[in-house]
Amino acid sequence: MRHRQVVALAAVALVGLTGCDGPDPNNLETYYDDPTPTSSPVTPSAEEAPVSPAKAAPVTPPDPGLLAERALLSDADVAEEGVQPGSGEASGCLADGPSAGSRTATWRYPSGSVLSHRVVAFPDRSAAQAVAENECAGKTVSVPVQPGVELQQAWGDGKTCTVLLAKGRLVSELTVSASTETRAVDAAKRLLPAMTAKLTAQP
């Protein structure tokens, strides 16, 4: 009799042990436990977060008068001609542009010949168009083609040589009045590189 009681107790203990192996179906806290850990929701890092494009600052067009002034020949540019600053308006054949967008300079040779330079800014049309529509008196003369300019023209009228260079909105006009047409053309040719360098340096 005592032997049967021991066997029964052992059987109860065995059932109790095996019942602890799995989740208890009656215990809601353990029955629905997921053995695999759930990952936390992924939030984009600051580096991955979309960045709205920065608004570009409004572009202010350059002042036409300032551009014309920068393209104007200086005393140093014409020093090798042996000229001295003179007074008076620069002569030339280019149709007048806006007064606020033009700059002029005049020099005189010891012989009395006159060298003048004018730069005109055209805010409402291209410089090449302004030159193409302009007609100077006299005959066309040949001068070296200048790099970086959009259009160039040269005329000889008696003892005066006029050269027009166009780039962007600027027209650079050089006029030389000398004792002969040949001297005027030669002086214009000597000054063309400096004139072109000043013009093509502008935006």
Six token digits for residue 27: 């215990």
Residue 2's identity, in one-letter code, is: R
What's residue 15's pLDDT?
Answer: 47
Report in angstroms the alpha-carbon separations of 36 from 27, 39, 43: 19, 9, 21
What's residue 47's pLDDT?
Answer: 54
What's residue 34's pLDDT?
Answer: 53
Cα-Cα-Cα-Cα dihedral of 91, 92, 98, 99, to 10°?
A: -10
What's residue 154's pLDDT?
Answer: 96
| pTM for the structure as a whole | 0.69
What's residue 76's pLDDT?
Answer: 97
Asked whether the CA dihedral 78, 83, 85, 87 is positive or negative, the reply is negative
What's residue 93's pLDDT?
Answer: 84
Residue 198's identity, in one-letter code, is: K
For 59-84, give one letter per residue: b (16+ CB within 10 A) or e. eeeeebbebbebbbbeeebbeeeebe
Closest-CA residue to 69 (of 23, 120, 33): 120
State which residues of the chain have pLDDT below 50: 2-3, 5-20, 31-32
- The CA angle 6-11-17, to the nearest 5 degrees, is 125
What's residue 89's pLDDT?
Answer: 61
Residue 136 contacts residue 153 (beta carbons within 8 Å): yes
